[in-house]
Amino acid sequence: MKQKYNVGIIGAGNISQLHISAYKKIPNVNVRSIADTNKNNLITTSKKWEIENVYDDYKKILNDPKIDIVEILTPHYLHSEMFIEAIDQKKHVSVQKPMAISNEECMSMINKSKSNKEIKSRIFDNFLYYPPYLKAKELISRGEIGEIRSIRLKSIIGEPNDKSNSLKLGLKDAGKNWRFDETLSGGGKILFDYGYHIFSIAYDLLGDIKKISSFVDETVLEAGSKIDCPGIIMWDYGNGKHGSWDIVRSNEIDINSDFFNEDEWYEITGTKGFIWVNRCSGNVLDTPALIIFNNGKSSKKKFSSNDLNWSSSFDYGIRNFVDSIENNFDSKLSPKEGKKVFDFCKSAKESSESGLSIVL
């Protein structure tokens, strides 16, 4: 076992706070370097977390022989190039979802990851590591609700109830944000960026889909930008299994959250019962985080206050990546799995634009 892993963070924006915090909690990890072209973000983040090496050029991290792990937290259009360069420099690499912005970029990342099997790489989606969701997976694997037949996911997009939190982004600020420019983000703010979380859950639970149908409207925001919601997406896994995602947005709803102006809840139906995962990135529902119905009755699963904090999904997910390096296993999402979710997102958009069901 390696005594110490040195980490380089590429990207010092808001989400880096949760990543750095998670790495700092692992005893044999040192956050050695951080890079960003935004000087204000770079200085503020490096000082807050006492990071020794500070660069405006990410290549200085990749060229540092002491760096073992690279975490890529940049705009989506930069993911593929940086991911490939990191592997070329023999760095283990985790890249924030979504994987990339084009099919060609995704395939280049998959091929590069295959070219050096000693290097661990993944696309990170923290939703897959939220403790109530992990518990739901455990219950499912034990057969507590039988075989999964359907999943139903619900998202509500509103306005933050506390504008002082640096992680919160009011949609009125969309005109300033690259996520609303599809040439940079790769797709819509909801279906592709935020939707990658939702479709990661859908893929993780039941795998490949056969067909997808969607209706997604557009809402014009205060800044003049457009957001791809409200909408409903439905998909078929085959063998009588299906899923759906309902998205609603209202700027009159205050979202009770310490992070973003959104919340989600899931219903998983099995042949012997149900599981509900509530209160994910927000706390809209005043209900337990996980409820299971089986054997004719419902029960509530308890979690520590730390595990019910959405930031815990970053703690568990980043610990999992370090463990995968130490113990030689693949951390989710592998590049191949990440491409499956990418296709899910793109097909939902294609279906809505064409008015047709898309067969995958």
What band does 212 get if pLDDT is binned at 50, 70 and 90?
very high
Check whether residue 46 and residue 97 sit in a common domain: yes
Q: The domain spanning residue 12 has which CATH number?
A: 3.40.50.720
Q: What is the pTM of this model?
A: 0.94
Q: Is the pLDDT of residue 234 over 90?
A: yes
- At 184, is the secondary structure helix, strand, or coil? helix
Q: Does residue 169 sit in the same domain as residue 105? A: no
Does the residue 337 lie in any domain? no
Same domain membership, residue 118 and residue 180: no
Q: DSSP string of 188-239? A: -IIIIIIHHHHHHHHHHHH---SEEEEEE--EE-TTS-EE--SEEEEEEEET
> What is the spatial distance between Cα 166 and Cα 14, in angstroms, rounded to a whole number?
7
Contact 170, 159 (CB under 8 A): yes
Domain count, the chain: 2
> Residue 336: inside a domain, yes or no?
no
The number of beta carbons lying within 10 Å of the beta carbon of residue 274 is: 15
Same domain, 41 and 168: no
CB 69 within 8 A of CB 177: no
Q: Residue 142 is part of a domain; what is its CATH number?
A: 3.30.360.10
Query: Cα(4)–Cα(1) distance, rounded to whole angstroms?
Result: 9
Q: Identity (one letter) of the amino acid at 70?
A: V
Confidence of residue 163 (pLDDT cuts 50, 70, 90): very low
Q: In terms of domains, do 134 and 274 share one? A: yes
Eight-state DSSP code of residue 331:
P
Band of residue 170 on the pLDDT scale cut at 50, 70, 90? very low
The predicted structure's pLDDT at residue 161: 52
98-139 per-position pLDDT tens digit: 999 999 999 999 999 999 989 999 999 999 999 999 999 999
Per-residue pLDDT band for 166 (boundaries 50, 70, 90) equals: very low
Q: Which residues contact 8 (CB under 8 A, 6 or more apart)?
A: 32, 33, 34, 35, 61, 62, 64, 67, 69, 70, 71, 91
Residues 156 and 299 placed together within one structural domain of the fold: yes
* Domain span at 173: 128-310+342-359
* Averaged pLDDT of the chain: 93
* pLDDT tens digit sequence for 50-102: 999 999 999 999 999 999 999 999 999 999 999 999 999 999 999 999 999 99
